[in-house]
Amino acid sequence: MKKILVARKLLDENNKKILNLFDAKLNKEDKLYSTDELISLSKECDGILSFPTTIINTETVKKLPKSIKIISNYAVGFGNIDTIEASKKGIIVTNTPEVLTDATADISILLLLGASRRAYEGRLAAESESWNWSSDYLIGKQMTGKKLGILGMGRIGRAVAKRAKGFNMEIHYHNRNKLSLELEQGAIYHKNISELFNNSEFLSINCPGSKETENLINEKTIQNFPDGVVIANAARGEIIDDEAMIKAMKNGKVFALGLDVYRGEPKINQKYLKLKNLFLLPHLGSATTITRINMGDRAINNLNQLLNYKQKPADQVN
């Protein structure tokens, strides 16, 4: 049987499947392997089932054993892997698209609602047992009938748009390319992000993380938003310039921010934690049982296709 290194703990349903197909080294203690440990444990292995926390950068790829033919990433993103260097070394990289679309779209809506309706402040007040109702107490922003900008109209962005229509929101979006009328479903395309931001009373960030999107939300681009915008990020933390965002949250340009992802996870810029207009989650976008099982199955299927059937994996990204 082909040998696989599983870099983090899988759910039991996935463990059963991978052990039936491969001689798999499981990480039962869910230890976060160092680079040296990853390289050592992958010796004589044919593939690695990696995770978003498995950093396989240029130097790591160069040091991987020659036996490694595939890195199957347990995520829709693959920014933790140097795919270019992997290609140079003849290593295929795959991801797990589609299966986490609905769960992540749900979280995007939760972030928008939690931030706009001041859920964090409400929780603090409720726990204090000293709040008093009044007509102007903890007034938030209502999503109904407002303009929602979607930055990145891929599968997840379109799923967010579908949900937002339940709030009768007017959907605007920016994407690398304009979608077909069938996929747009009435959404309004903006080729320029400044035009999108001009039309975003609420913004949902759902674009991939890359060098092009790093710090896309910065001190300059924030000025394009209407005053009091609500922003949610369920994509990648690096898309937001933290210092610029914190400044905008303090001066009211940004009414509230919802984050499921942030730069340097699990660490976060400590200045955020001093702000009450932040609704914060610990990267829960795909955290439902069925989604995580499906992600594991997809990652295992990519390994199976290449190593056991000599076929091109369905989700190859490089």
Average pLDDT rounded to a whole number, residues 125-134 = 96
Is residue 208 over pLDDT 90? Answer: no
pLDDT at residue number 149: 98
195 is catalytic: no
Domain 101-280 has CATH 3.40.50.720: yes
Give per-residue pLDDT as tens, 68-123: 999 999 999 898 999 999 999 999 999 999 999 999 999 999 999 999 999 999 99
Question: Are the C-beta atoms of residues 238 and 264 closer than 8 Å to each other?
Answer: no
> Domain residues of the chain, as ranges?
3-99+289-307, 101-280
Average pLDDT rounded to a whole number, residues 28-33 = 96
Phi, psi (5° rounding) for residue 143?
A: -75, -25
DSSP track, 255-312: EEEEES--TTTT---TTGGG-SSEEE-SS-TT-SHHHHHHHHHHHHHHHHHHHTT---
Average pLDDT rounded to a whole number, residues 1-13 = 98
**How would you class 281 by CB atoms within 10 Å of its CB: exposed for 0-12, middle for 13-18, buried for 19 or more?**
middle
Please report which confidence band the pLDDT of residue 209 belongs to, taking 50, 70 and 90 as the band edges: confident
Say if 3-99+289-307 and 101-280 have the same CATH topology. yes
Is residue 133 over pLDDT 90? Answer: yes
Average pLDDT rounded to a whole number, residues 131-154 = 97
Which residue out of 117, 155, 190, 236 is catalytically annotated?
236
Cis, bond preceding 226 (omega within 30 deg of 0)? no
Question: Are the C-beta atoms of residues 68 and 46 closer than 8 Å to each other?
Answer: yes
3-99+289-307: CATH topology: Rossmann fold (3.40.50)
Please report which confidence band the pLDDT of residue 4 belongs to, taking 50, 70 and 90 as the band edges: very high
Average pLDDT rounded to a whole number, residues 15-36 = 97
117 is catalytic: no
Which residue out of 98, 170, 184, 265 is catalytically annotated?
265
158 is catalytic: no
pLDDT at residue number 211: 84
Give per-residue pLDDT as tens, 222-277: 999 999 999 999 999 999 999 999 999 999 999 999 999 999 999 999 999 999 99
Is residue 198 over pLDDT 90? Answer: yes
pLDDT at residue number 110: 98
Which residue out of 170, 184, 214, 283 is catalytically annotated?
283
pLDDT at residue number 35: 96
Is residue 306 over pLDDT 90? Answer: yes
Mean of the per-residue pLDDT values for the chain?
Answer: 97
Give per-residue pLDDT as tens, 32-68: 999 999 999 999 999 999 999 999 999 999 999 999 9
pLDDT at residue number 210: 82
